[in-house]
Amino acid sequence: MKARFPLLIIVLGLNFISCSSYKKISYFQDLNQSAPTIEQIKNFTPITVQPEDILGISISSLNPESSAVFNFASNSANGTNENYGGYLVDQQGQILLPIIGSMKVANMTTQQVREQVRLKLLAYLKEPAVIVRLLNFKISIIGDVAAPGVFKVQNERLTLTEALGLSGDLNITALRKILIIREIDGNREYIPVDLSKKDVFNSSYYYLKNNDVLYVQAGRAKYAAVDRTLPKISLLLSVISVAAIFFVR
């Protein structure tokens, strides 16, 4: 009976390690998954225009010929970018529109830019209609994910979980704590985010901004593949387990 006690301790220890490892890879561990949970979204804020952004501006009116002057496709005015077909925001936060001239757009939403352009066009066009889009919205995902890379986004509303989906999700060896690196208003922020907690959905960083970088750090299991120490420990535990079984007999 006494001889079986060490074997029982080993088995329980291995089982504990296995359970602990499983808990570490789960998302939103404190979320009640046995019943629906409803909460109001309060943390979404529209992205704002920053220097080096590229705006796609489409203008129409009751006079198509007059409107064509203001559209990028029909002219090659300064302040445009041939790769994207839009208006480049300079370091002073301005774009240069035909006839209208320089216009400050930094720290404005695309809806605010649209309204400002529309108001300026009233002096030249009858009932102008304006569409403004951010053309170079992209994020970078690096680290322990299935498919790291730079991803272009078609809309202006991208969540953290959607971004991880673009990269094929975190690998099973990745930590469920990631780092968001963000540059805005001339500052760089390093923001840790814990994916094991459901509070991530209410974080002010859950909705990503243009040029955000997501770094996913690998856990110890990832390094075990190149570290010889852990395999040696596993082999030692196996030998002890076999020896204990023979000793019981």
Instruction: Examine residue 154 and state whether it is found in any structural domain, yes or no.
Output: yes
Same domain as 113, residue 180: no
- Domain endpoint, select from 113, 134, 155: 134
Number of domains comprising the chain = 2
Residue 10: CATH number of its domain: 3.10.560.10
pLDDT at 76: 45
d(CA 217, CA 195): 12
pLDDT in tens, the chain (249 residues): 555 555 445 544 545 444 445 455 566 666 676 778 787 888 888 999 999 999 999 999 999 888 888 886 544 444 444 445 789 999 999 999 999 999 999 999 999 999 999 999 999 999 999 999 999 999 999 999 999 999 999 888 999 999 999 999 999 999 998 999 999 888 999 999 999 888 999 999 999 999 999 999 998 766 665 555 555 566 556 656 655 555 555
Same domain as 122, residue 58: yes
Same domain as 141, residue 212: yes
Same domain as 129, residue 143: no
Packing angle, helices 4-24 and 229-248, rounded to 10: 150
Strand spans (E) along 39-100: 54-60, 80-81, 86-88, 94-97
d(CA 228, CA 58): 60
* Strand pairing report for 149-152 and 138-143: antiparallel
d(CA 147, CA 142): 8
pTM of the predicted structure, to 2 decimals: 0.72
d(CA 222, CA 44): 34
Q: Are 57 and 132 in contact (CB under 8 A)?
A: yes
Q: What is the pLDDT of residues 130-182, one digit of tens each?
A: 999 999 999 999 999 999 999 999 888 999 999 999 999 999 999 998 999 99
| Cα separations in angstroms, 63 against 59, 152, 180 | 11, 34, 47
Same domain as 141, residue 126: no
Domain range enclosing 105: 54-134
Instruction: Examine residue 242 and state whether it is found in any structural domain, yes or no.
Output: no
Same domain as 205, residue 179: yes
pLDDT at 37: 74
Residue 89 DSSP symbol: P
- Domain endpoint, select from 134, 167, 182: 134
Residue 73: CATH number of its domain: 3.30.1950.10
